Amino acid sequence: MTILRQTILFVFTCISLSAFAQNTEKKTDEKPAVLPPVPAPIETKGQVIIGGQTINYTTRTGYMVIKDESGKAKANIFFIAYTRDGVNDLSKRPVTYTFNGGPGSASVWLHMGCSGPKRIPMSDKGESLAPPYSYVNNEYSWLDKTDLVFIDPVNTGYSRAVQGENERQFLGYVEDIESVGEFIRLHATKYGRWASPKFLAGESYGTTRAAGLSGYLQDRYNMYINGVALISSILNFQTALFDKGNDLPFELFLPTYTAMAWYHKRIAPEYQADLQKTLREVEKFVLNEYATVLMKGDQASEAEQTMVAEKLSKFTGLSKEYIKRANNRIEIGRFVKELLREEGKTAGRLDGRFTGTDYDNAGERYEFDPSLDATISGPYSGTINQYLRQELKYENDLPYLILTGRVQPWNYNNVQNKYLNVSETLRQAMSKNPYLKVWVAAGYYDLATPYFAAEYTFNHMMLRPEQKKNVNFTYFEAGHMMYIHKESLIKLKCDADKFYEMALK
């Protein structure tokens, strides 16, 4: 009986192995699926008047296929490129590669907000108009100074990994730098821009990407950049992450808290007259008494703790008792809820000028960011979808992802057990390329990337005097997307013009 069972088992095993081998051979003989060809970008013509000057341009809208060195397609990256017509020598015409942040954001914000040839009309303050939304010619476009290429990284806009490819290979700091860097190389190669002056322009996490690319493009492709525009900059994440044991954000966010309290008239009366004078006093307090007391931790005396709480109360409009209960450390989520609690309102994170209302006033944090969900999301999403089809004649049935969580979790494996800090990458790029110019645009009411945190980052890059001359900061009485504020949009255009002129000397 035992012998019979062993015989049956042996025969069954042989049959199974034979079948497995046949299946394996069959699979090996199968040809890989052939992906349909990606259509060439669609070209259209346009015209815009900037500063009284008529600019005729060509728009290319579509995909750039990212491949590995064997020629295998990996991702289709969507882009919209504006090129001025009538330029015979491209070596004299700058090109700017532009993107937003998130991570998870398409390039729609910079594209339709400030630098592209069309923009979304808002109120002068930056409030959305009633739907349905529209677009108008943008007289403040940067197209008179530079050609513009708006890039949507993978899983934003229409950009996707190709069928059969794992999207995770694009969703992380290093992965993103490599794929966007490869796009820039391909675009410069395909459209003859290697000899052109080249610029990078990023907003929010896009500034992280721009700083990373400034080094990556040099080191990987020997592609040297003329200028980097950092709009609402964050290069050192330690300055913005409210972790226990990390006191930097509590210090560096304070001037922005003050600006918001000033705007909403919640600050102590003696500080209400002059915003700039008040901010200088708060900055001085941060760098001296506040940083010292926080550094002491539990060793700070009761008198020191009380002194700090009293000053914080005057600078922020929050009660001294509330601040003391928070150990003199005001976290961003608490601030935007507490600042206007007595009025039944919450303040915006992206732009502290805007307010919203929650279900009740008892919560510790707001339900939504009124400067995003109630101000800009609808107009930008509705307009880009209409503009692509109506103006650019581009058809795509995929959802255009303007701001999505489909990139999460974002991979930060390159900085295990530490904060991402790309300021050193930018410093090295500036050292290797002494002609590289950097422009930082910062809004006083921006709690996503506070201006004082950006200053702190550059003050700790250990730039030499000759390098510091290549860095320029400009400031706006607006928020993260300062260009939605009409006065700031005009100023941003003037500052951009100066940046290009300085970088091209």
Does 178 fall in a domain?
yes
At residue 317, the pLDDT reads 96
Per-residue pLDDT tens over the stretch 199-248: 999 999 999 999 999 999 999 999 999 999 999 999 999 999 999 999 99
Q: Give me 377's structure tokens.
A: 């999301």
57 beta partners: 46, 84
Instruction: Check the CA dihedral 457-462-467-468 and report its sign.
Output: positive
Q: Is 90 exceeded by the pLDDT of residue 115?
A: yes
Q: Retrieve residue 340's tokens.
A: 């206007």
User: Are 295 and 154 contained in the same domain?
Assistant: no
| Whole-angstrom distance, CA of residue 197 vs CA of residue 210 | 16
Mean per-residue pLDDT for 58-82? 97
Query: Nearest Cα to 99, choosing from 168, 199, 189, 220?
Result: 199
Is 22 inside any structural domain? no
Residue 18 has pLDDT above 90, yes or no: no
pLDDT above 90 (res 36): no
Q: Does residue 8 belong to any structural domain of this protein?
A: no
Model's pTM, two decimal places?
Answer: 0.92
Domain finish residue from 292, 323, 356: 356
212 domain residue, yes or no: yes
Q: What is the band of 25 on the pLDDT scale with cuts at 50, 70, 90?
A: very low
pLDDT tier for residue 34 given thresholds of 50, 70 and 90: low
The answer to whether position 440 is within a domain reads yes
Asked if 229 and 81 sit in the same domain, the reply is yes
- CA-based nearest residue to 457, from 476, 471, 446: 471
Give the 3-state secondary structure of residue 139: coil
- Asked whether residue 59 falls in the same domain as residue 195, the answer is yes
Is the confidence at residue 466, as pLDDT, over 60?
yes
Q: Is residue 435 part of a domain?
A: yes
Instruction: Give the Cα separation of 170 and 168 in Å (integer).
Output: 5
Higher pLDDT, 34 or 241: 241
Identify the domain containing residue 324 by its residue range: 241-356
Mean pLDDT, residues 127-148: 96
pLDDT digits (tens, 9 = 90+) for 150-180: 999 999 999 999 999 999 999 999 999 999 9
Q: Grade residue 3 by pLDDT with cuts at 50, 70 and 90.
A: very low
Could you give the residue ranges of the DSSP H alpha helices within 415-485? 423-432, 451-459, 465-468
Is the per-residue pLDDT at 6 higher than 80? Answer: no
CA distances from 18 to 4, 15, 29, 352, 423 (A): 21, 5, 17, 70, 59
**pLDDT confidence of residue 26:** 41
Q: How far apart are CA 479 and CA 354, in angstroms?
A: 9
Do residues 339 and 419 share a domain? no
Is residue 368 domain-resident? Answer: no
Number of H helices, E strands in the chain: 16, 14
Percent over 70 (pLDDT), the chain: 93
Q: Give the SS3 label for residue 178.
A: helix
Q: In the structure, what pLDDT confidence band is assigned to residue 12 with cuts at 50, 70 and 90?
A: very low
Residue 4 has pLDDT above 90, yes or no: no
pLDDT at residue 33, rounded to an integer? 55
Beta carbons within 10 angstroms of residue 453's beta carbon: 25
Based on the domain organization, do 225 and 292 belong to the same domain? no
Q: Is residue 20 part of a domain?
A: no
Q: What is the pLDDT of residue 16?
A: 39
> Which pLDDT score is estimated for 24?
42
Residue 384 sits in the same domain as residue 477: yes
The torsion of the CA quartet 471, 477, 482, 484, rounded to 10 degrees, works out to -150
The span from the CA of 345 to the CA of 366, in Å, is 9
Is the pLDDT reported for residue 370 higher than 80? Answer: yes
Q: Looking at 301, 321, 356, which one is the last position of a domain?
A: 356
Concatenated DSSP letters of 39-85: PPPEEEEEEEEETTEEEEEEEEEEEEEEE-TT--EEEEEEEEEEEET
134 and 221 inside one domain: yes
Binning the chain into helix, strand and coil, the percentages to the nearest 5 are 45, 20, 40
Pairwise CA distance, residues 120 & 122, whole Å = 6
Say how far apart CA 63 and CA 481 lie, in whole Å. 27
Residues 399 and 268 in one domain: no
Task: Give the count of beta carbons closer than 10 Å to the beta carbon of residue 492.
Answer: 23
Record the tokens describing residue 268, joined without a space. 């102590």
CA triple 338-257-457, angle to 5 deg = 135
Q: What is the pLDDT of residue 223?
A: 98
CB 268 within 8 A of CB 451: no
- Domain shared by 255 and 161, yes or no: no
pLDDT tens, 284-301? 999 999 999 999 999 999
93 and 223 inside one domain: yes
User: What mean pLDDT is predicted for residues 395-420?
Assistant: 95
Average pLDDT, the chain: 93
Domain count, the chain: 2
The reply to whether 328 and 388 lie within a common domain is no
Check which CATH number belongs to the domain holding 87 and give it.
3.40.50.1820
